[in-house]
């Protein structure tokens, strides 16, 4: 690929923070089932493009529960780090796991936007990382507080994006055969009308 100011699979690492049911209960900024579907799509995207995934959870034994099963089933044995504080970047194990990848483009997804997403994003930006926040895989307590947290991160230098934009940005060329089938399956399964259209084209439109 040419060196464009876009995400490349070889440069990115995905940090998934507190995608746990106990925290999803508090989400009021997005439909929860849509949030889960979007997050699963992002996890599948990381797998398809062989992007390292770092998972962090908090209070999993006393309140939040484990990583949601639908997400864990996609991520398999991706490393998971339990922490005590809200800011995953202040947890040495999490930060070192990101650093060990050697990748400086950080993609972030998580709950809740107001704290456990925005705090590590702001900290990683201060440490010189390029950070993309996958806003539709993040959930806030209210639409307003979610929006304000996104605005704060964007003002600090983070890029706001969606799971579908991440996938298309990584694929960029549908003739890339090594990821074509995986990327297309994710779109068909999670991208609503766009996915329906791709499935229709595959099944109904035939070259003359």
For the residues of the chain, what is the DSSP string, one character each? ----SS--TTTEEEEEE--BHHHHTT--SS-HHHHHHHHHHHHHHHHHTT--EEEEEESTTTTS-SBPHHHHHHHTT--EEEESSS-GGGSHHHHHHHHHTT--EEEEEEB-IIIIIHHHHHHHHHTT-EEEEEGGG-B-SSHHHHHHHHHHHHHHTPEEE-HHHHHHHHH--TT-HHHHHHHHHHHHHHSHHHHHHHHHHHHH----
pLDDT score at 77: 86
Name beta bridge partners: 20: 67
Domain residue extents for the chain: 12-170
Whether the pLDDT of residue 2 is over 70: the answer is no
Torsion on CA atoms 12, 100, 139, 35, rounded to nearest 10: 60
Q: What is the per-residue pLDDT across 8-59, written as a single tens digit (0 to 9) for each?
A: 999 999 999 999 999 999 999 999 999 999 999 999 999 999 999 999 999 9
* Average pLDDT value for residue range 177-190: 95
Q: How many residues does the chain have?
A: 208
**Predicted model pTM:** 0.93
Query: Among 28, 52, 156, 154, which Cα is nearest to 103's?
Result: 52
Helix axes 163-171, 32-48, angle to 10 degrees: 20
The one catalytic residue among 116, 138, 158, 186: 116
pLDDT score at 177: 95
Whether the pLDDT of residue 91 is over 70: the answer is yes
Q: What is the per-residue pLDDT across 111-145, written as a single tens digit (0 to 9) for each?
A: 999 999 999 999 999 999 999 999 999 999 999 99
Whether the pLDDT of residue 183 is over 70: the answer is yes
pLDDT score at 1: 44
The CATH number assigned to the domain with range 12-170 reads 3.40.50.850
Query: Among 81, 83, 32, 34, which Cα is nearest to 53's?
Result: 81
Tell me the C-alpha distance between 67 and 21, whole Å: 7
Model confidence at 109, pLDDT cuts 50, 70, 90, reads very high
The answer to whether 116 is a known catalytic residue is: yes
pLDDT score at 202: 75
């Amino acid at each position: 690929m040419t060196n464009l100011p876009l995400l490349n699979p070889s440069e990115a690492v995905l940090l998934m923070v507190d995608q746990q049911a106990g925290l999803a209960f508090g989400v009021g900024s997005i439909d929860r089932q849509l949030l889960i579907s979007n997050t699963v799509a992002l996890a599948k995207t990381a797998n398809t493009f062989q992007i390292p995934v770092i998972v962090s959870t908090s209070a999993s034994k006393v309140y939040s529960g484990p990583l949601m099963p639908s997400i864990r089933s996609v991520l398999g044995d991706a490393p998971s780090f339990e922490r005590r504080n809200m800011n995953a970047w202040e947890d040495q194990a999490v930060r070192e796991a990101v650093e060990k990848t050697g990748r400086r483009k950080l993609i972030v997804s998580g709950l809740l936007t107001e704290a456990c997403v925005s705090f590590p994003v702001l900290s990683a930006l201060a440490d010189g990382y390029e950070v993309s926040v996958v806003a539709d895989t993040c959930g806030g307590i209210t639409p307003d507080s979610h929006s304000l947290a996104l605005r704060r991160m964007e003002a600090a230098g983070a890029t706001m994006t969606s799971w579908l934009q991440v996938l298309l940005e990584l694929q960029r060329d549908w003739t890339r055969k090594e990821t074509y089938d995986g990327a297309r399956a994710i779109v068909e399964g999670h991208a609503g009308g766009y996915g329906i259209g791709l499935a229709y084209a595959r099944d109904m439109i035939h070259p003359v």
